[in-house]
Amino acid sequence: MVALSANGFTLPVAAASYKDGALEIAERGRSLAGTTLGTRRARKWTASGTMVTTDPLEAYALRGMISGDGYGFSFATDLRDDWKGNQGWSVTHAAREAGGKFSAGQMTVDSGFTTTFTFPTWWPGTTWAAAFWRKETSATEWEHWVKVYGTTTVYRDGVAGTALPAWLTFNTSSLTLAGAAGGNSKYSEMVIYPFFIPTTWPAVLAARTAAILKPPFLYMQGTLVTATGPTSYTCRGEARAASHQNRGALDTAQRIDFTVEEH
């Protein structure tokens, strides 16, 4: 097990920088006599540290993921985004159904038709990545697909180099998915990030055996977590802007301060 990971992605945390503790959920005050008054209702796990990487793309992706950027769709109740309002997929020829890769739900698109996710106005139209599971009616197994804008191929089951399929189209303002020609298509466990992702991430996503937490949530694991008790925490986080360190002839090191708190 790695020292620290978020949603399965290893965080390059500097060991000496890492701190964890407890966030007390309580009301505090003082009586007229000056004694303390308060009731502790709960304690939530919190951690902070500094990540160090020489890869600018990895630095930007980690900052975005930890800060909760992007949209996630589990299709547990409808075709809308789960946590960030009503932004969702067009419903003319798409419907939410029970089931899915990890049984949270799925979006089914009718044969020969399409559904579109229109990016919000702030979306960086030429800098995004989409990851999801897909299965056609005639297929028995789900396949994992990752599209990074600006590339002519896609990742299929974690492997790069598959030609762009006809059922996937996009531009700087939207992403469109189609149903199969001979039957409908099902989509599940979808995440769309407003940043490029490292080349190692698609294989990690395809190898998962459980649903990934959707933005803005993080699933924190690692030996640094288990050292304090539980095996994992569901968290919200914040990663501040990277600072750069001159390393002479070597690549510039990027240092990213982060904080996570149990949800």
Compute the distance between CA of residue 106 and CA of residue 3 in angstroms, rounded to an integer. 33
178 and 75 belong to one structural domain: yes
Q: How many CB atoms lie within 10 A of CB 205?
A: 23
Q: End-to-end CA distance of the chain, in Å?
A: 23
Backbone angles phi, psi at 59, to 5 degrees: -60, -45
Q: Are residues 27 and 143 in the same domain?
A: no
User: Is 208 found in the same domain as 125?
Assistant: yes
Q: In what order do the strands lie in the sheet with 174-178?
A: 114-118, 174-178, 168-170
Q: Specify whether 201 is located in the same domain as 76.
A: yes
What's the confidence (pLDDT) of residue 239? 95
| Whether residue 112 is found in the same domain as residue 13 | no
| Residue 246 is assigned to a structural domain of this protein | yes
Q: How many angstroms separate the CA atoms of 94 and 97, rounded?
A: 10
104: nearest Cα among 88, 84, 82, 122: 82
Q: What is the CATH number of the domain that holds 136?
A: 2.60.120.200
If asked whether residues 47 and 73 sit together in one domain, one would say: no
Indicate whether 173 and 81 sit together in one domain. Answer: yes
> Do 13 and 106 lie in a common domain?
no
And the tokens for 29?
Answer: 């005050």
User: CA 148, CA 168: separation in Å to the nearest integer?
Assistant: 12
Q: 4 and 19: one domain?
A: yes
pLDDT at position 246 is 65
153-156 and 143-148 beta bridge pairing: antiparallel
Q: Which domain holds residue 2?
A: 1-56+217-263
Task: Tell me the two tokens of residue 65.
Answer: 């993921």
Residue 64 lies in a domain: no
Question: What DSSP assignment string belongs to 74-123?
Answer: --SSSSB-SSS-S-BB--SSEEEES--TTSS-EEEE-TT-EEEEEPPTT-
pLDDT computed for residue 231 by the predictor: 86
Average pLDDT of each block of 10 consecutive residues along the chain (263 residues)? 93 92 78 73 86 91 96 93 84 94 93 94 93 90 96 96 96 94 92 96 95 94 84 93 66 86 93
10 pairs with which residues across the strands? 5
- pLDDT tens digits for range 112-170: 999 999 999 889 999 999 999 999 988 889 999 999 999 999 999 999 999 999 999 99
Residue 61 lies in a domain: no
Res 41: pLDDT: 64
C-alpha torsion sign, points 199, 201, 203, 205: negative
255 and 188 in one domain?
Answer: no
Region of residue 83 (phi > 0: left; psi between -120 and 50: alpha; otherwise: beta)? alpha
pLDDT of residue 27: 73
pLDDT for 40 equals 63
Q: Are residues 166 and 194 in the same domain?
A: yes
> How many whole angstroms separate alpha carbon 245 and alpha carbon 61?
19
SS3 201: helix
Query: For the chain, what is the domain count?
Result: 2
At 242, which CATH number? 2.40.30
Regarding whether 163 and 97 lie in a shared domain, the answer is yes
> What's the whole-model pTM score?
0.90
DSSP string, 164-191: PPTTEEE-SSEEEEE-BTTB-EEEEEEE
